Amino acid sequence: MNSDTLIETKNLSVGFPVGGKLFNKRVLKAVNEVSLSIPRGSFFGVVGESGSGKTTFGRALLNAAPITGGTAHYDDGEVNYDLGELAGADLKEYRRRAQLIFQDPYAALSPRMTVRDIIAEPLEVMGLCDTREEVDERVREIAGLCRLNLEHLRRFPHAFSGGQRQRISIARALVSKPRFVVADESVAALDVSIQADILNLLKSLQDEMGLTYLFISHDLSVVAHTCDHVAVMYLGQIMESAPTRQLFNSPRHPYTKALFSAIPSLDPDDRGKAQKLEGEIPSPTNRPSGCQFHTRCPFATDLCRREEPHLETCEAGHAVTCHRWRELQLAD
C-alpha cells in the first residue's frame, strides 16, 4: 500500500442475506468487488443514483456494514488495520479515528440534550477524557472551530436553524479528533446558500485537523466544487474514478456522461441536449449479465451483454469499467 494512501480496498464486497430461511435464500450484494485507494488528506467523492451502493460502501469503511469479501486496509501513519478483522481495543480505537457526519441535522440530534452534552457524548462514551473540565475544554475548542457561539452550548437543538444544527453534528463527529470522516449527503437537506457555508467549513476543518473525507453525494455540482477525486458507483461497482477536473472534462463511461447531462444548465443552448437516463437501476439481487449498466446504456453491444468489463486504467489516476471506452467519444 502506498504511503500516501489512507484506505485501500481490494475487491471489497458487502452482502446481506435476503429471502426465506430455507428456500429462496439469496445474497443482496450492495457493494460488489470495489477496488479503490483514498489518499491521505483528500476530499474523495463518491457519486451515484439512489441504490448505487455508495452509502453501504461508506459504512463498510466505518466498520458499520459487514465486509463479506475482499479487503479494506487503513493506515494513517500511526496505526494500520485490516477493517474486516477489527475487534477489541483496535475496533475501539478505529471508532475514534473514523467518524460519520449524518445527512439530516434534524434527526441526528437528540432534542432532549443540550448542545454541550450532544458534542461531549462521544468523549464520554469512548472514555477519552479524565475529568469534566477536560471534556468541557475539548467541547469549547471544537465548537469554536465549527464556528458555534459558546453561548449556544447551553441551548437545545430546536433553537437552531438547519445550518447551525449541521455545525453541531460536525462538532460532535470531530470532537474525538478523527482522521477519516464519511460525510454522507451531509449538505443534501440544506438550502443552497447554507450548503456553501457548510462545505467551506468542512474544507477549513480539513486543513486545520488534517482530515481525509469520503464525501458521498448524488449532487454532481456539489462534488465538482468540493472534491479532488471522484468515483462513480453503479449497482455496487465503480464505473469510473478520476481526479475531479479530469472526470468532468473527459468522462469515459456512458453512465458518468449521463449523470453529467442531468446537471441543470443556465445556458439556453444546452437545454434539450441532456442524455436522458432511461429505466431504473436493477435490483442487486437480480444483476444483469455482462456489464451491469448494459440495460440502460445506449452504446450496449452483444459483448456488453455477455462479458463483464473490469476497471482498467485509461490515464494516470483515471480508471473506467467499460468495454468500449477507447472508441466512444463522450466529451463535449
Site for ligand SF4, rule CB under 6 A = 253-254, 291, 293-294, 297, 299-300, 304, 309, 322-324
Residue 312 C-beta: closest distance to ligand SF4, Å: 11
- State in angstroms the smallest separation of the CB of 13 from ligand SF4: 20
Residue 107 CB neighbour total at 10 angstroms = 9
Q: How far is the CB of 323 from ligand SF4 (least distance, A)?
A: 4
Q: Which is nearer to ligand SF4, 172 or 257 (CB)?
A: 257
| Smaller CB separation from ligand SF4, 63 or 237 | 237
Quote the CA–CA distance of 249 and 244 in Å, as a whole number.
9
Q: 248 or 299, CB closer to ligand SF4?
A: 299
Residue 81 vs 234, nearer CB to ligand SF4: 234
Tell me the closest approach of the beta carbon of residue 288 to ligand SF4, in angstroms.
9
Q: Determine the Cα angle at 230 with ends 269 and 78, to 5°.
A: 160
Task: Give the position of cell 486543513.
Answer: 207
Cβ(270)–Cβ(256) under 8 Å? no
CB nearer to ligand SF4: pick between 223 and 300: 300
User: Which CB, 86 or 297, lies closer to ligand SF4?
Assistant: 297
CB of 102 to ligand SF4, least distance (A): 33
Minimum gap (Å) between residue 15 Cβ and ligand SF4: 23
HEC string for 107-145: CCCCCCCCHHHHHHHHHHHHCCCCCHHHHHHHHHHHHHH
